[in-house]
Each structure stands twice: as structure tokens, then as C-alpha cells.
Copies of this chain bind each other. A is one copy, B any other.
Amino acid sequence: MLTVFGTIALDTTRTPFKTETKILGGAATFASLSSSMFTNTSIVGIVGSDFPAEYRSIIDKRVDTRGIVTENRGKTFHYDSSFDYDLSRRTSNKTELNVIAQFEPVIPDEYMKSEYIYLANNDPRQNMKILEYFSDPKLVVCDTIEYWILNCHDKVVKMMSAVDGVVINDDEAKLLCKNTNLVKCAKTIISWGPRFVIIKKGEHGSLLIAENIVFPAPAYPLEEIVDPTGAGDSFAGGFIGYIAKQNSLTFNTMKEAVVYGTVMGSFAVEDFGIRRLLSITQDEVQMRYREYRNLVQF
């Protein structure tokens, strides 16, 4: 089983073409819906009294939701953002933490035997605390964001030293490691403890770095992008979900997992929010994986 811990959000997403208000979002939502295409997934997170029952049932159809706490005295985390004309830059309009501000996550007993754990971009202290619940995980992967790097750099480093793998955006890797060369950034992170690092470069793909090996994977080329929200989280979910399914930690499996992550990220951006993640089939995932392999082979 894979346990995903992170935000469950109401997103207001504005692109030059369309605005959608308070749709289902959040790092844990995207990651768990994506990983559930590969493996049994459970989710840990908190929502407020305004969280629609319909949204909960969307997650519940694919993911074990016993770890979702409903705090009736507060509202769900709300993130309002706008994309620029080419959907490459996002501006935050409003970030209402609401119930996640005071969240003290508890892990249901049923989750504690999870062998695979994905800690999304939560407070690194929360991520560290959560880890104590699990008896003997095979693989723990975390992400982080600018906010934690700026506000508690040391805690981020400490968290990374406690996990097996790190998934992080290129700009955040540069900020965290104070270096502009991404391979060097990854090696710095590896020197803190984890066995591998994946640097996400958005439309430019990703770099997996481990054991002095680098695996550069271009993005799946798309002509139409509707909403980039959740691409990185869907990537991470696909990556760790595939590893859990294979139950293998070889470098070859990790490479394949990066490609499945790439495939899941490419589906995620084809529609607003989680919509495309809900409609894809196993066949579509396999087909795009094979198509990608054909594209990049020479």
C-alpha cells in the first residue's frame, strides 16, 4: 500500500481562457488519484465543513479516505491562482490555509503497514512526525516548496536526510541548494541522505539523479494544455505508484517509474483540475507509455 500525505484543497484556477471556482485540488488529491492507477493508495489530509460530499466521494472511489479528517469548525484550504497567457507562470491571488494551519495529522491504524509513503509539500516538521507512525516503510519520498525553504531551510534539510527520495521543482532545487546547476543541486541533496532526487522541470521534463547516474526524461510533447495545476503532483503519484506496483527499487524500475510519472503529468494538464485523471483508462496510460518510448528512442 502507498500512503499519500498532503493538502486536499478547493482550487480557484484562472487561465486566460477559463476560470473554475473552488474545484477539487491539492497535492495529495492529485498524487493519490494518479498513484491509484497503479497501486492501492490511502490518503491523509484535512478538510473543512465546506468540503462538498461529492468531492469526498470522488476521492473515495479510488483511494482509501479513512485518513481524511473533517474539521467542522473551519473551512477547507483554498488556493486561488492565475496563469499567464502561455500557462507557464502562475500567480497566487489568495492562499487561505484555513483548517490545514492547525492540522495535527493522525494515521489510521490500517495505514501503518504502508510500505510506500509520499509526503507532499507539507510543513517538514509535520512530514517528519508522520513518518514515526509507519512501522517499516520500504520507500519514503518527499517534495517541498519555496515557502518552507525560505522559512525553515534547516528543517527541510533534516526532512530530506530522513527520506529515501526527493521530488522537487527546478527553481526550488536551485533555491534550496544555492546553486544553478541542477545536477549539482541533486548531488548536494543526495549528500544529505536520500538515495535519489528527481528534479521536475515542467514542460522541459525531469532529471532523475542517483548513484552517479542521471536519467533525463523530456516531457511528453503536447499541443494543447488546458490547466497545468497538479502536473507535478500527478507526476510524483505516478512515479511512486508504479514503484509500489512493481515492488522494486532498481534504477531501471525508477527510470520506468519516471516515465509513468511523465505520462500521468501529461494527462493531468489536458483538462481543468482532476478531471482528466478521473477519465483516463489503464489502456490509455499503457498506450501513452509505449508512444513515449517510441518517441524518444533512436
Contacts and interface: CB of A to CB of B under 8 A. Distances in A.
A282 interface: no
A85 B178 CA distance: 12
A189 interface: no
A226 to B, nearest CB: 12
Given A184-B223, A204-B205, A298-B256, A217 B218 contact: yes
Contacts of A298: 215, 217, 252, 255-256, 258-259, 293
A214 B221 contact: yes
Counted per complex, copies of this chain come to 2
Interface string A206-228: 01000001111111011111000
Nearest to A184: B223
B215 A296 contact: yes
A191 to B, nearest CB: 14
B255 A180 contact: no
A215 B298 CA distance: 9
A131 interface: no
Nearest to A292: B216
A181 B221 CA distance: 10
Nearest to A225: B181
Nearest to A84: B180
Contacts of A255: 298
Most chain B C-beta atoms within 10 Å of own C-beta, residue among A184, A216, A256, A295:
A216
Given A201-B204, A215-B298, A180 B223 contact: no
A88 interface: yes
A86 interface: yes
Contact of A216 (B85, B184, B259, B295): B295
A154 to B, nearest CB: 25
Contacts of A204: 201, 204-205
Given A86-B181, A256-B298, 11 more contacts: A86-B180, A87-B180, A181-B222, A201-B204, A205-B205, A214-B295, A215-B296, A216-B221, A217-B296, A258-B298, A296-B296
5 contacts: A85-B180, A88-B180, A181-B224, A187-B223, A216-B221
